[in-house]
Amino acid sequence: NFQNLIRRGIRMWEESTCLRFRENMASRDAIRYVLEKGDSCFTEYIGRNGGHQDIIIGSECAEEYVVAHETGHALGFWHTHQRPDRFDSALEQRSDFFCFPH
C-alpha cells in the first residue's frame, strides 16, 4: 500500500544518514506525500519553505527509491549536475557518467 511505500522510501534515508522522520498527520509544517494517477513524480520545490510541501508520486512511478529521491529534493538536495556550484570542484570526465532512471 502507499503508506508502506512511503515508509520504505524514508527508511532508505534513515538507514544511511543520521536523519529521523516522524509521522504527524496534524502538522501544518510538514512534507506530505500525495499519490496521483500517472507517471509524474516531483517535489514542489527544492528545500523546505515552511507550511505543507507536497511530494507528488505518480502511480506509474511509485517505487521506494523514487520516494527517497523526491524526499531528498524536499530536504534541499539538488541533482549534482544542476547544483549552482557544479563546476567549482569537479572535473568533468564523461567516462565517469552513468545514467539511471528516476
64 catalytic per annotation = no
Residue 73 marked as a ligand binder? yes
Strands (E), the chain: 31-36, 42-43, 53-58
- Distance in angstroms (rounded) separating the CA atoms of residues 95 and 102: 20
Q: How many CB atoms lie within 10 A of CB 78?
A: 14
- Of the candidates 14, 63, 70, 92, the residue annotated as catalytic is 70
The annotation places the binding site for Zn(2+) at 69, 73, 79
Active site residues: 70
